[in-house]
């Protein structure tokens, strides 16, 4: 009995989460998760329902479609429900799907079924009612049973004919299709919306049709709902009639027989999807014969006669438009591919990391190449491979710059004494704040969450203030002219007042956080804490110079030659000394919180993957408050590896090899009690 309660509790939790995701996706046009995470949650709910017959909820994905219509519009019932589609992700899913069809129809001789194939456009479904050739009403999908009456907004779309004079056009019919925004048109809207689908939804559901008319919405028709006197026999015939009646249809619609051929077509189509003018997330297969469709009917909220063969939600193909070299806080040069925007798992990706010079050479990546991009969880999108068959004849090999693109200093690869190899990363040899890009990144680090943590002074604001020459060094933040800031676009008395308060608040800081905020290479949070305990106060820290005996640090557990060499280099730079003396005037040091006998005393922890409901910084703080320590790498000194969503497999394997305890976030919560 207890087990049943636990199962129901887990099921209800997933249903609640699914409904939350649906609300943000359909109603708020602001998705909380990518497609792959949503699809996995949906499958988890369906699997639970299959396993336990006592599980069923009105918001289940097997019953419910989309999300209830918005209160901002009048509701309208669909004469024929707008159903959802089941998903297939691979060859086995398709084989099982077709097997169920044969079993349902009681067909023993398994001939190849003929499918009408069409792209699954990532847009907003709409149903258009025509009577006597005139557009009477237009309704959104809503929850599948009723939607929002958005007729006037739909009439602003040029692709939707308002009058049809063809004699073959039915007297009463619901034409259904997808409203979307082309990728090139989305370029002008990308600052307001996360992706083209959100832009289409937000534009279509505005109260004022005149505002909707300003947005370049498009419409592709693909099916029907209610149909007065259907005489056609095949889906492919209906598509041809749609075209004859004046509707736009996909030029990629085709008829294919057999699962093997569907898979081949899917692979070819996925490889070229980035060339399309709009986003698609898969292909839809409909049994072409209307008579068989009628026999199969629907199960729950999905037709038996159709299925969506989804593309990989973590990868796609795109074209490299340019290669940009970004300079980081420590001088590291990171090559970034500027790619033709592509939708991967519900997120529009326009940048992909190329990691370093060696990776570019190994994969022979060039500007103009068609490349495969992968994005998984919180991992930065990166280039996996190059499709050399699509390489242009005039393509030129890419050569990594020998000088820093920001300041012109020489770039080098440092020799690693531990590995006895040169590092893969090239670095700018400039030190301190002489390199503009490094300086900006150092200031961003100075005000970051784990350092001074100044609310309202984000990365974009730092860049803006740099361009306006408001700041050049970290302590310039404490000398900002608030009267000038108040006159800037987007700023007002309240926002300036909040910024001033946040900056004042940040002046009270622990010594360890202040040392960490300086962004000294190889001096992370743990090293900064160790140094602060040894140095005692900032006055002592500010007196460190090139004449200081750094060998004293060798006696400190946790500080090695790498950290000492980095400190020597930092304190030998005059600008860094100016920064330290400048900061000293404004900071008020407070004592670090000490917990002598916390439950994690003598225990070490490390995180991998995204945590739910808590930031990484807060989780680290909880461990430290309980006398625990945070490590930055998996090694023999580590006691616990805490895994969140999409953890790094390599770290988990390393932990298992070293017999380190690997625990989930739930286990960590229990340890905290």
- Exposure string of 9-26, with b = 16+ CB inside 10 Å and e = fewer, is eebeebbebbbebbeebb
- Exposure string of 566-590, with b = 16+ CB inside 10 Å and e = fewer, is bbeebbebeebbebbeebeeebebe
- Residue 211 is encoded by which pair of tokens? 């505002």
Contacts of 667 by beta carbon, 8 Å cutoff, 6+ apart = 642
**Main-chain phi, psi angles of 218, to 5 degrees:** -130, 165
Candidates 263, 285, 224; CA nearest to 79 is 224
Catalytic hit among 37, 42, 68, 120: 120
Is residue 149 helix, strand or coil?
A: strand
First-to-last C-alpha distance (Å) of the chain: 26
User: How far apart (Å, rounded) are the C-alpha atoms in residues 538 and 120?
Assistant: 61
Contacts of 333 by beta carbon, 8 Å cutoff, 6+ apart = 325, 326, 327, 400, 401, 404, 405, 411, 425, 426, 427, 428
Contacts of 564 by beta carbon, 8 Å cutoff, 6+ apart = 550, 551, 553, 554
| CA triple 536-538-539, angle to 5 deg | 100
- Residue 44 is encoded by which pair of tokens? 């988890």
CB atoms within 10 A of CB 110: 10
How far, CA to CA in Å, does 248 sit from each of 21, 122, 185?
31, 16, 18
User: How far apart (Å, rounded) are the C-alpha atoms in residues 628 and 525?
Assistant: 13
Is 120 a catalytic site residue?
yes
Helix (H), strand (E) at residue 615: none
User: How far apart (Å, rounded) are the C-alpha atoms in residues 173 and 223?
Assistant: 11
Mode of pairing for the β-strands spanning 306-310 and 86-88: parallel
Say if CB 222 and CB 163 are below 8 A apart: no
- Residue 239 is encoded by which pair of tokens? 């598509």
User: How far apart (Å, rounded) are the C-alpha atoms in residues 4 and 9?
Assistant: 9
DSSP alpha helices (H): ranges in 174-289?
A: 183-186, 196-204, 209-213, 235-244, 259-272
- Residue 76 is encoded by which pair of tokens? 């309208």
Contacts of 278 by beta carbon, 8 Å cutoff, 6+ apart = 121, 122, 123, 180, 181, 182, 183, 196, 218
User: How far apart (Å, rounded) are the C-alpha atoms in residues 138 and 127?
Assistant: 6
User: How far apart (Å, rounded) are the C-alpha atoms in residues 131 and 169?
Assistant: 10
| Residue 444: exposure state from Cβ atoms within 10 A (0-12, 13-18, ≥19) | buried
- Residue 9 is encoded by which pair of tokens? 């509790």
User: How far apart (Å, rounded) are the C-alpha atoms in residues 130 and 225?
Assistant: 11
User: How far apart (Å, rounded) are the C-alpha atoms in residues 66 and 23?
Assistant: 8
Say if CB 606 and CB 638 are below 8 A apart: yes
Active site residues: 120
């Amino acid at each position: 009995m207890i087990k049943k309660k636990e199962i129901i509790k887990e099921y209800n939790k997933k249903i609640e989460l699914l409904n939350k995701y649906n609300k943000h996706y359909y109603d708020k046009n602001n998705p909380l998760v990518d497609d792959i995470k949503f699809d996995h949650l949906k499958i988890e709910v369906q699997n639970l329902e299959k396993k336990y017959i006592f599980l069923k909820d009105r918001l289940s994905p097997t019953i419910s479609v989309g999300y209830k219509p918005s209160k901002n519009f009048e509701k309208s019932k669909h004469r024929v429900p707008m159903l959802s589609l089941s998903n297939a992700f691979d060859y086995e899913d398709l084989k099982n799907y077709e097997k169920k069809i044969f079993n349902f129809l009681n067909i023993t001789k398994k001939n190849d079924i003929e499918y009408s194939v069409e792209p699954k456009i990532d847009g907003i479904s709409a149903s258009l009612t025509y009577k006597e050739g005139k557009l009477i009403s237009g309704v959104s999908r809503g929850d599948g049973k009723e939607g929002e009456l958005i007729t006037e907004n739909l009439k602003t779309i040029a692709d939707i004919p308002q009058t049809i004079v063809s004699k073959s056009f039915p007297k009463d019919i619901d034409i259904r299709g997808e409203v979307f925004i082309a990728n090139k048109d989305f370029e002008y809207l990308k600052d307001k919306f996360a992706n083209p689908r959100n832009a289409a939804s937000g534009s279509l559901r505005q109260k004022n049709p005149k505002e909707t008319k300003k947005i370049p919405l498009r419409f592709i028709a693909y099916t029907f709902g209610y149909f007065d006197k259907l005489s056609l026999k095949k889906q492919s015939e209906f598509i041809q009639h749609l075209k004859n009646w004046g509707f736009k249809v996909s030029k990629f619609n085709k008829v294919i027989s057999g699962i093997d051929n569907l898979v081949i077509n899917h692979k070819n189509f996925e490889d070229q999807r980035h060339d399309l003018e709009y986003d698609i997330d898969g292909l839809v297969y409909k049994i072409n014969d209307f008579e068989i469709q009628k026999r199969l009917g629907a199960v729950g909220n999905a037709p038996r006669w159709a299925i969506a063969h989804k593309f990989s939600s973590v990868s796609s193909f795109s074209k490299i438009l340019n290669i940009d070299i970004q300079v980081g806080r420590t001088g590291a040069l990171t090559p970034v591919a500027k790619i033709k925007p592509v939708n991967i798992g519900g997120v529009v990706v326009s940048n992909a990391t190329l990691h370093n010079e060696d990776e570019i050479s190994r994969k022979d990546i060039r500007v103009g190449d068609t490349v495969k991009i992968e994005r998984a969880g919180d991992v930065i999108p990166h280039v996996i491979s190059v499709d050399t068959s699509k390489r242009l004849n005039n393509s030129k090999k890419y050569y990594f710059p020998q000088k820093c693109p920001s300041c012109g200093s020489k770039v080098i690869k440092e020799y690693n004494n531990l590995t006895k190899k040169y590092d893969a990363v090239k670095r700018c040899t400039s030190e301190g704040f002489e390199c503009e890009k490094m300086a900006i990144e150092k200031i961003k680090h100075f005000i970051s969450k784990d350092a001074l943590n100044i609310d309202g002074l984000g990365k974009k604001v730092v860049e803006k203030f740099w361009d306006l020459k408001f700041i050049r060094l970290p302590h310039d933040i404490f000398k900002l002219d608030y009267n000038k800031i108040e006159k800037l676009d987007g700023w007002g008395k309240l926002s300036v007042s909040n910024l001033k308060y946040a900056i004042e608040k940040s002046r009270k800081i622990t010594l360890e956080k202040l040392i960490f905020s300086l962004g000294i290479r190889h001096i992370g949070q743990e090293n900064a804490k160790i140094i602060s305990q040894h140095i005692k106060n900032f006055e002592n820290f500010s007196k460190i110079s090139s004449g200081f005996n750094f060998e004293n640090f060798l006696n400190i557990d946790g500080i090695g030659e790498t950290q000492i060499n980095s400190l020597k280099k930092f304190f030998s730079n005059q600008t860094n000394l100016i920064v330290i003396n400048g900061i000293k005037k404004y900071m008020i040091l407070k004592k670090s919180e000490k917990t002598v006998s916390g439950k994690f005393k003598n225990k070490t922890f490390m995180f991998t993957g995204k945590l739910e409901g808590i930031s990484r910084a807060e989780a680290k703080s909880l461990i430290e408050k309980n006398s625990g320590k945070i490590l930055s790498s998996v090694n023999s000194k580590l006691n616990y590896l805490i895994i969140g969503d999409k953890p790094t497999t390599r770290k988990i394997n390393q932990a298992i090899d070293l017999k380190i305890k690997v625990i989930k976030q739930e286990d960590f919560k229990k340890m905290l009690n």
